[in-house]
Amino acid sequence: MMLVPRRKGNFDLFDEMFNDPFFTRNENKLMKTDIKEKGDKYLVEIDLPGYEKDNIKIEVEDGYLTVHASVNKSEVENKEDGKYIQKERYSGECARSFYIGEDIKQEDIKASFKNGMLTLTFPKTKQEKNEKKYIDIE
């Protein structure tokens, strides 16, 4: 026998189940990214709302561009005019990597951060067109 708390009012069992932290805990850590091809360069736009410029690190290593962002919201406010019913703080970090090729160097990448949007611009590189190669089956 399983005991389930009863709630008053209308509620949907599936809404309740999928709002459980098991299903939602990673959804705000995803860096929503748009990549555009613009003439002879690429433009990468990454949504990072709630992050500060000083907490974003961008690195290039072995042909991979990696963006790492962290946040720590733990400041405590002192309100004398009422009591808290609920007060939440959060901290976390996220990272994404993109293969950009080994010809792109750190100095080739331009970055800006404005209104929660990180914008990266870097030139396209010439990529050799590889022919398909098939493996013979013995």
CATH of domain 36-72+91-122: 2.60.40.790
pLDDT at 6: 47
Please write the tens of the pLDDT for every residue from 21-51: 544 444 445 789 999 999 999 999 999 988 8
pLDDT at 130: 64
Q: What is the pTM of this model?
A: 0.63
Domain boundaries, the chain: 36-72+91-122
Query: Per-residue pLDDT for the chain (138 aa), expressed as one digit of tens each?
Result: 444 444 445 545 445 545 555 444 444 457 899 999 999 999 999 999 888 999 999 999 999 999 999 988 765 555 566 777 776 777 788 899 999 988 888 999 999 999 999 999 999 886 656 677 788 888
Whether residue 64 contacts residue 100, with contact meaning beta carbons closer than 8 Å, is answered with yes
pLDDT at 32: 92
